[in-house]
Amino acid sequence: MAFEIKNGVLNKYNAESGEIRVIVPDEVTKINKEAFKNCTNVVSIVLPDSLTCIEEYAFSGCTSLIEIVIPESVTSIGKRAFEKCKSLVKIKIPNSNCTLDSWIFYDCSSLKEVVLPFHLKAIENSMFKDCISLTTVNIPSRVTSIGMWAFCNCKSLTNLVLPFHLNYISREAFWGCKSLTEIVIPEFVKRIEYGTFASCSRLTSVKIPKNVKIIGTWAFSLCDKLTSITIPDNVEIICNFAFYECNSLRNVTLPDKLTTIGERAFHRCTQLSTITIPASVTCIGDECFMGCDSLRQIIVSEENPKYTSLGGVLYSKDLRTLIQYPLGRPTDFYAIYDRTSCIGNSAFRYSTILTRIVIPDSVSKIGEYAFAYCTSLREVRFPYSLKIIENCAFKNCPALMSRPVLKSIISMGEGVFG
């Protein structure tokens, strides 16, 4: 017998029958877990109008399956039901009230077209993950949430309209959608989660709604074509790596309610030429603007209680710590302010234009990687006040001829001049 059926439940299909076109008997109301799993020879399946339920993994790994018609009688489809059906090109779920679990179409690498139930309320986790041929999908208007990795690595997805009532998009939902060029995030969304639009390498336009308060870690990282972005007025936190390596980003407007810019938030935004830090910002993470080769100046509001700008260079408000020297500053010489006591971690890292630095007698500490990879740096005036030089402070400075007076140093890190 090709089918194992009991009380209307199809428990197992015998793949050894060798049939490539399968017609499921009319008596079947439910296809049980893994019933057709790894039936790699099956090309076409006809399901009966009596069917109401497709359980998890039911057709998982049917790699040759090209055609399957789901009847309107089906009201639920379980987890991973069609995962790795690598030949499946299109599918329609006609019952408007049918519920869909997570990972259903995971790695259906040939899937180009899908029709979802009209009353669907959620796109569950990984529903279309690695559907690399999917070009467009109409998300039903009643969907209010999109789960983790829902469209992750859908690298052919070019057209996507998010429904008006959508209020939650989970982490990495659109990570690696490399053909997506624009996105309008609905007004009810309050947070851009971890890596939501990361590695969308052709994304040129993003509209972030006014209700968003947090832009999460890696949220828009590696969006190579993104040229400008306006951060809405209510955003309070830009998390770590949020715009990491957005290589085309030229213009960023930071809102007046912003309090925190995470570490490496704008790391390697190589076209960014200027940025203005509002008065509200009280925390700027390490290496926030490192690798921004075109950054000529960092401007800070005069009302900011924690930070200030001196000639376009970012300092602590009391000028005791030099935090970030802008890499695109068009001069090969810089004299650090004479009240400064600490040069922060990675403060001058990758400043390849600089050839000479004057460190004043007030400086007692040079942080990790402070001048690392300053490949043109030849001359540094080291003061007798210098007590601490941390790890790799002058790493890969091949032109450097100066050295500090060692008797004044009480702590020397590893690889300082390595």
CA dist 63 and 336 (Å) reads: 65
More confident residue, 403 or 151: 151
Supply 414's token pair.
Answer: 């590893």
Residue 1: the pLDDT is 61
pLDDT digits (tens, 9 = 90+) for 116-145: 999 999 999 999 999 999 998 999 999 999
Q: What's the pLDDT score for residue 418?
A: 86
pLDDT at 289: 96
Tell me the average pLDDT across 366-394.
96
Residue 161 domain-assigned? no
* Residue 406 confidence (pLDDT): 73
In a domain, 404, yes or no: yes
pTM listed for this prediction: 0.92
Residue 336 lies in a domain: yes
Convert the pLDDT of each residue in 36-68 to its tens digit: 999 999 999 999 999 999 999 999 999 999 999
Asked if the model's pLDDT at residue 291 lies above 80, the reply is yes
Question: Does pLDDT of 76 surpass 70?
Answer: yes
Whether residue 332 has pLDDT greater than 90: yes
136 lies in some domain: no
**pLDDT computed for residue 104 by the predictor:** 98
Mean pLDDT rounded to a whole number for the chain: 96
Both ends of the chain: CA-CA distance in Å?
Answer: 73
**pLDDT 10s digits, 87-120:** 999 999 998 999 999 999 999 999 999 999 999 9
Output the 3-class SS for the chain: CCEEEECCEEEEECHHHCCCEEECCCCCCEECCCCCCCCCCCCEEECCCCCCEECCCCCCCCCCCCEEECCCCCCEECCCCCCCCCCCCEEECCCCCCEECCCCCCCCCCCCEEECCCCCCEECCCCCCCCCCCCEEECCCCCCEECCCCCCCCCCCCEEECCCCCCEECCCCCCCCCCCCEEECCCCCCEECCCCCCCCCCCCEEECCCCCCEECCCCCCCCCCCCEEECCCCCCEECCCCCCCCCCCCEEECCCCCCEECCCCCCCCCCCCEEEECCCCCEECCCCCCCCCCCCEEEECCCCCCEEEECCEEEECCCCEEEECCCCCCCCEEECCCCCCEECCCCCCCCCCCCEEECCCCCCEECCCCCCCCCCCCEEECCCCCCEECCCCCCCCCCCCCCCCHHHCCEECCCCCC
Asked if the structure places residue 341 within a domain, the reply is yes
Average pLDDT for 334-357? 97
Asked if residue 210 belongs to a domain, the reply is no
Distances (CA, A) of 214 to 40, 122, 219, 294, 371: 46, 22, 10, 27, 32
pLDDT-based confidence at residue 150 (cuts at 50, 70, 90)? very high
Pair 117, 91: CB distance under 8 Å? no
Q: Residue 390 maps to which CATH number?
A: 3.80.10.10
Number of domains making up the chain: 1
Q: pLDDT tens across 242-290, in order?
A: 999 999 999 899 999 999 999 999 999 999 999 999 999 999 999 999 9
Nearest to 52 by CA among 82, 83, 28: 28
**Do 150 and 130 touch, CB atoms closer than 8 A?**
no
Look up the domain containing 397 and give its range: 331-418
- 98 within some domain: no
Is residue 230 pLDDT above 90, yes or no? no
Of the pLDDT bands very low, low, confident and very high (cuts 50, 70, 90), residue 188 is very high
Q: Is 76 left (phi over 0), alpha (psi -120 to 50) or beta?
A: beta
